[in-house]
Structure 1
Amino acid sequence: MQTAVLKIDGMNSEACADKVAQILNSSNGVSDVRVSLLNSQADVQFDERHTSTEQLAGNLASAGYQAQSGKAAEKNGGCCGGCCG
């Protein structure tokens, strides 16, 4: 299992956050999703044998949400969630 932080552009309401969570939860290999509207991010736990952060970002892009993961998200103001959660 792997955990990724996805920085998500385009979430501007609880309905958007719920839709993002629904998309990620329905992705193959995903076991846990936590979406923060305030931080515009999703913490996703997934089995890397079944999906990747690129696939998850692609699933979100299909619904109109731009997502960045890893170093790209950190450069744009995201964080690991440990200190500023």
Structure 2
Amino acid sequence: MELGTIKIADMQGDICVAKVNSALSELDGVVSAKASLANKNVAVSFDETVTSLAKLKEAVVASGFKLAVHGEDGNCCGGCGS
């Protein structure tokens, strides 16, 4: 099992949180998805033998959201681990 975090640039309300959670939870290999409006991210627990963080990010984008780009708002997105 692996835990990944995806930063989302344009998540703006509870409906967005529900949409992200639903889009990821429906994917094979996803154990749990918990989006946070306050942090503008989603923490995903998944089986890395079935899916990948890259595929999860694709699903977020396919749901109509933009991923946060490192340093886009002047802050570290935390995605690179530094």
Once the two structures are TM-superposed, the CA of residue 76 in structure 1 deviates from its matched residue by 4.9
Q: Which residue of 1 aligns with 2:27?
A: 27
Distance 2:75 2:56 in 1: 19
Aligned length: 77
Q: Which residue of 1 aligns with 2:57?
A: 57
Residues 26 and 76 of structure 1, relative CA distance in 2, 3 Å threshold: farther
How large is the RMSD of aligned CA atoms in angstroms? 2.3
Name whichever structure is richer in strand by fraction. 1
Where 1:11 maps in the other structure, the secondary structure is coil
Structure 1 segments unaligned to the other structure (5+ residues): 81-85
Residues 40 and 50 of structure 1, relative CA distance in 2, 3 Å threshold: same
**Deviation digits for residues 52-82 of structure 1 (CA, Å, limit 9, x no counterpart):** 11101111111211236xxx58x953348xx
Q: State percent identity of aligned pairs.
A: 29
TM-score (norm 2): 0.81
TM-score (norm 1): 0.78
Name whichever structure is richer in helix by fraction. 1
Distance 2:31 2:20 in 1: 15
